[in-house]
Structure 1
């Protein structure tokens, strides 16, 4: 009896060994069980069946509370990001998020985060300083490796269970408004703060406290293209001008409008009966009017006049003209004398009161006279009643 029991025990042992050997050595022509890609979850393979490998990682959507401008800059110190996982298959998750921030004192490596993600009180920094990245993670599969089996070697590598291409936002920021500097180089000894400008353009220097800022300008409330540094307002129309500017930095911060720079552009004279046009590089707008007979008249439109100047050259053979506004008294102007280029002759000074009417200029002899332009303006400019930003469109 004891001999029979020993024989049974030996047979059982050999059966176990054979079973284990059969598990370790697959049948000829049969591949070992492994994890097959293309599933929506992960299951380790058994001795007889393949497992599942979720080979489609989640994607990540990212939206920032403020979008960096074309220069990669923001004008705010707080950024909030809305982050969401996105799947293209039927994977039900659950899903999580990981985030990282480069740049600044709040920088950190990859760590678990929840949407929305906010960073407040970030210090100003150049473009590209801050880099925020976010990626979705398949939490249901992240802790599993379907090819880990103590009885079989791995057949394929485990597919990553997180977004391999994280969503990203780069930016810099500037939260301080710049200052603008406007300097007019025009000079008028008679009215220094409101000079009469007789050149082809009005030279103005424009600068900002922040390098790289752009400059926005207005002339009498209307936008005009301008640029930083030495600049000229080309061919301004006749009359009073109030010029202002502001600076806009790379982040879009704008300075206050500058105090207006005031100047006055003379009225160029159009040819009338008895007068001929003469041209020359030294004349205002390149031309002037000449008369050589007594009684030749120029009549200008009705206007308000507090100050009246004639712009004209002098010469030893030049004659005289007389000038009046409306029905007021005539004022005689002698244009004879040593030869001289254009001069501004004050006919009515700015302290004589305001008058209105047509301006009449008349030659008093047959001696040649040349008139280039006329300055006719009120005795003082009206006080500003608003900022000099662009006028609203109608």
Structure 2
């Protein structure tokens, strides 16, 4: 008899079928668990169900709560205006899970000083330092840090969790971000250069250019600096005067030689190490003498707001000085001016002040003695030597 041979199933197929049959015998009929996206999902893989969980993997889930980074400190700390006076910045940060997740937290940073925000992030750890920073121009430096779940980020929750076609898992419906969506942000301005201060509109004095005499007790100087938005500090003989950028008036200065010092501080706290200075001499206002021969007249253009004048003969006044060489009068010169004489202590002779001019000139400066004259201490005396002709004097400089 002729026999027809039977085909054998491959052993692998038989084994697979037997395993499937065995599993069907051991387990009740179940369906793969539905994908979930709940805050309780921490590993993005659900725990298996049934008596043999390792043979029945759970489906994917989506961890909805990424970790968050917290910026703890900036060194050096920016001031109230957001500036630092250093070319190096160090940022310290930490991260935390907002649920019971125990996955490792990773960090990514951005640091830039461009108007356009970069699209890429760089892996970083705390603390992170940036050195050799250029001074800020119109765009400040921006630092950003964000945290991410280092384990979940490698998993796409919408992928099938199982490679076994006979025991399929179920993917999650979504794969929400495992990265912090709102990074921590710090904006810092860098300024390492100290400002330089300037004084303009200083008085001109042809007689003594190195030490000019003012013709007012309330001078105005124009102040400036190499940087904008600086604060000014102005001192005259250690007395603080309010001042600011542009024209600044220093009112009602006392008589004598003064030094104005102008320093500036920029928003980063950098201080001008070499303040600008200018030196000048303020004359003294001539007070109304006793008696009736002089009268006082007011004028907003006069030194100190007033001057004295007379048309009488032998109208006198005197001014005391110490170690005086130079003497100048601020007075009115004119064609029809009267005669004014003066003499210094120890000198028996009277000299004549040159008050005559072709036109009337208010606040003219008349030099009576120069820096090479012999010094004196005591009262310098003045008297008129004419009748019916005007003599008007305003202030006197003695140094």
Short-chain TM bin: 0.7 to 0.9
In terms of mean alpha carbon deviation, does 92-101 or 116-125 score higher? 92-101
Match of 1:340 among 360, 374, 383: 360
Correspondence list, 1:31-110, <5 A: 32=34, 34-38=36-40, 43-47=45-49, 54-62=63-71, 63-69=73-79, 72-88=82-98, 91-103=101-113, 109-110=120-121
Q: Please provide the CA RMSD for this pair.
A: 3.9
- Looking at structure 2, the residues matched to 13 and 191 of structure 1 have their Cα atoms a distance apart, in angstroms, of 118
5+ residue gaps, structure 1:
1-8, 27-31, 378-394
Contact 2:90–2:128 at 8 Å: present in 1 too?
yes
Residues 140-195 of structure 1 deviation map (CA, whole Å, 9 limit, x = unaligned): 54445677645465556455433322112223434333444434442112111211
Q: How many residues align?
A: 359
Correspondence list, 1:237-252, <5 A: 237=253, 238-249=255-266, 251-252=268-269
Shift of 1:375: 0.7
Contact 1:33–1:47 at 8 Å: present in 2 too?
no
Matched, 1:372 2:388: no
Change in Cα spacing, 1:254 to 1:19, as seen in structure 2 (3 Å) is: same
Match of 1:323 among 339, 342, 353: 342
SS in 2 for 1:36: coil
Structure 1 partner of 2:308: 289
Shift of 1:343: 1.9
Contact 2:59–2:171 at 8 Å: present in 1 too?
no
Q: TM-score scaled by structure 1? A: 0.74
- Looking at structure 2, the residues matched to 320 and 183 of structure 1 have their Cα atoms a distance apart, in angstroms, of 38
Correspondence list, 1:121-136, <5 A: 121-136=132-147
Which structure has the highest strand share of the two? 1
Contact 2:59–2:169 at 8 Å: present in 1 too?
no
In terms of mean alpha carbon deviation, does 49-58 or 175-184 score higher? 49-58
5+ residue gaps, structure 2:
1-16, 51-57, 163-167
Contact 2:37–2:64 at 8 Å: present in 1 too?
no
Structure 1 partner of 2:376: 355
SS in 2 for 1:351: coil
Shift of 1:372: 0.7
- Looking at structure 2, the residues matched to 66 and 353 of structure 1 have their Cα atoms a distance apart, in angstroms, of 61
In terms of mean alpha carbon deviation, does 286-295 or 322-331 score higher? 322-331
Shift of 1:14: 11
SS in 1 for 2:219: strand
Contact 1:100–1:111 at 8 Å: present in 2 too?
yes
Contact 1:93–1:138 at 8 Å: present in 2 too?
yes
For the pair shown, which has the larger CA radius of gyration, 1 or 2? 2
Contact 2:221–2:249 at 8 Å: present in 1 too?
yes
Change in Cα spacing, 1:20 to 1:112, as seen in structure 2 (3 Å) is: farther
In terms of mean alpha carbon deviation, does 188-197 or 56-65 score higher? 56-65
Shift of 1:289: 0.7
Contact 2:342–2:353 at 8 Å: present in 1 too?
no
- Looking at structure 2, the residues matched to 331 and 191 of structure 1 have their Cα atoms a distance apart, in angstroms, of 25
Structure 1 partner of 2:249: 233
Q: TM-score scaled by structure 2? A: 0.73
Structure 2 partner of 1:308: 327
